[in-house]
Amino acid sequence: MNLKNIQSNVLLTIFQVAASGLVFFLLYKYLFETLGAEKIGLWSLLIGITAVSRIGELGLTGGVVKFISEAVTQNQFDRVSKIIQTILISLVVMVSVLIFISYVPIQNVLIFATKEEEVLLIKQILPISFISIFLMILFGVLGGSMDGIMLMGFKNFLLAISHVFYLLLVYKMVPLFGLIGVAYSQCIQYLFLILLTWIILKREIKNLPIIPFQWDFQVIKDMFSYAINFQAISIVGMFWEPIIKIMMSYWGGLTSLGFYEMANKLIIQTRMIVVESARIAVPVTAKNNTIEHDQSIHFSFVQNTMNITTFSLFYIFSMIAISLPLISIFWLGSLNFTFIYFAFILLVGWFFSSLQSPIFLINLGTGHVRQNLYAYIIMAASSIIFGNVLGYFFMDIGVTVGVALSLICSALYLGHWYINNIFDPGFLRLLNIYKFLIILTPTFSIISVYSVIHLDLITSLIVFILLAGAVSIFCYKIFRKHNLMSLVLKNL
């Protein structure tokens, strides 16, 4: 992949993340105004639990990019066609069987975790939720295939357009069907993506039939050992989110879960600007690990990546923190302290987790996947312990603190392992650079909340602009002092 392709893929990825972030902001604002926080919580719980059916992927989706890319490099387009068809057919069968087996147990779990008056709605919407997850899995294969033939930027562009389409569908469907309209809209979105990506893939890969029919056991055999490592991580990740949502629903109720979902979605969607852009580290690291004998070149790349990521995270997370009161007003229509508390707590947890995201991605490139798995296991296990213990004493706030602590524990493990076994990229040095901002951000956040409570909206906006300007000036000085632009260009 040349520099031009890297730049276009990164830029289109940022565009996709920004576009989807704006769409989800408008989406949740609309759902909050029309359905309320409780229904958002129920939808979050449904999607989180039905996502367990992704176990049926067996990690095959994760191997599509690698194997198709290798086949394209060798001009083996017959094999490319066979890989796509084999994985699609395999997943259709395996995921269908898993959904059939898990339908009743998952329905019972949902009924246990929600109020009695929601039982009928759960029974109505659950089949549509499963169809939505099923279509999402199939699109994952086709999206990975587009990555394999070097059309990842175009795929991200299609995703951005589909999110806008999804939002328009929600505006149309929710007044007619209520919460079920959200499920219908998501199904239509993924059907649209599947058809469009299949047409594009067929145009690029002439051997691909209109309807997949070829299945080759050798493809599954070749991919299985590679895919199973990713599946272990995926399984832990898949169970982590539903468990958190069940805990929040049990200890705090569906309304608290709705506010938690909105706060969590806000932070995750924003951090994706940094994390998704850094995913280019995987192929770059793999290349360095293969052809470079001088380890100092690789460690220089790691150091530069950490410097760039740390700066981006500090600046973006600081801006989110001081703007939370205004986000609450514009998003929820009022100053909702439950949402603000959740968001502040989750900001801390996701910051530590995101700080270690370059190490996670670099481990994928160097083959240290097992350490990533251990980090996920620590995250999942600690969230269950902290979430239930703190939830028992402090209800919904306790569960949120438990989630943040689990993210911090996972990040500390991964960072500690990397320092002691591979290389110290200077975590303490990086934190020391931003120590003033660490103090400044919570102080500015309190000022921002105070201004919204005691001042009119226009004055509060002026205060926010002044606070954001101060943070921007401070970060700009760090950017210039440490010459971060040259590190970006050097990494590219």
For the chain, what are the domain ranges? 1-232, 253-492
Per-residue pLDDT of the chain (492 residues; tens, 9 = 90+): 444 555 566 666 667 777 777 888 888 888 888 888 777 777 777 776 666 655 545 555 656 666 776 676 677 777 777 878 888 888 888 888 888 887 777 777 766 666 666 677 777 778 888 888 888 888 888 887 777 776 777 777 888 888 888 889 989 988 888 888 888 998 999 898 888 888 888 887 777 777 877 777 776 666 665 556 666 666 676 677 778 888 888 888 878 888 898 899 889 888 887 777 666 665 566 555 545 556 677 677 777 778 888 888 888 899 999 998 988 888 888 888 899 999 999 999 999 988 888 888 777 666 677 788 888 889 988 999 999 999 989 888 999 999 999 999 999 998 889 888 887 777 778 778 888 888 888 898 889 888 888 888 788 888 888 988 888 888 888 877 766 655 555 554
Q: What is the pTM of this model?
A: 0.70
- The pLDDT value recorded for residue 350 is 92
Helix (H) or strand (E) holding 21: helix 3-34
Q: Residue 272, SS3?
A: helix
Q: Which of 190, 237, 170 is nearest to 24 (CA)?
A: 170
- The pLDDT value recorded for residue 1 is 47
Structure tokens at 401: 């603190």
In angstroms, the CA 281 to CA 279 distance is 5
Q: Residue 333, SS3?
A: coil
- The pLDDT value recorded for residue 231 is 63
Task: Give Cβ neighbours of residue 302 (< 8 Å, ≥ 6 apart).
Answer: 358, 362, 423, 425
Residue 234 near residue 54, CB atoms below 8 Å:
yes
Residue 70 near residue 89, CB atoms below 8 Å:
no
Q: How far is CA 216 from CA 79, 89, 220, 334, in A?
A: 10, 10, 7, 57
- The pLDDT value recorded for residue 234 is 67
What dihedral do alpha carbons 318, 320, 326, 332 form, nearest 10°?
-150
Phi and psi of 114, rounded to 5°?
A: -125, 175
- Return the amino acid letter for 167: L
Sign of CA dihedral 124, 184, 328, 392: positive
Place of tokens 């296991």: 377
- The pLDDT value recorded for residue 407 is 93
- DSSP notation for 407-421: HHHHHHHHHHHHHHH
Q: Which of 49, 7, 1 is nearest to 148 (CA)?
A: 1
- The pLDDT value recorded for residue 409 is 93
Would you tell me how many other CB atoms lie within 10 Å of the CB of residue 195? 11
pLDDT tens for each residue of 256-282 = 888 898 899 889 888 887 777 666 665
Q: Which of 260, 264, 267 is nearest to 397 (CA)?
A: 260
- The pLDDT value recorded for residue 389 is 93
| Ranges assigned E (strand) in 258-381 | none
DSSP label at residue 356:
T
Structure tokens at 320: 């989110």
pLDDT tens for each residue of 149-195 = 767 777 778 888 888 888 899 899 888 888 888 889 989 998 988 88
What dihedral do alpha carbons 83, 84, 89, 92 form, nearest 10°?
130
- 3-state DSSP percent of the chain in helix, strand and coil, to 5: 90, 0, 10
